[in-house]
Amino acid sequence: MWRTLPAAGVVVPDGPPGDPVLRVLRARGLPLVFDGRPGDLRAP
């Protein structure tokens, strides 16, 4: 679902470290906004 969901960006409400959804969203080039502290800021 995350690979094809039409979106201009995503608000992530507390991304856990190693979350595979974040890798998919970053690979799509979508802007991500974190509410809280992101688990890992390093690029995949």
Residue 37 is given by DSSP the state -
- 1-44 residue pLDDT tens: 888 989 999 998 876 777 888 889 999 999 988 887 655 666 55
- The confidence score (pLDDT) of residue 9 equals 94
What is the C-alpha separation between 15 and 40, in angstroms, rounded?
8
**Alpha-carbon distance 18 to 41, whole Å?**
10
Supply the pLDDT for residue 40: 60
Structure pTM? Answer: 0.66
CA distance 7 to 39: 22
pLDDT confidence of residue 37: 65
Residue 44 has a pLDDT of 53
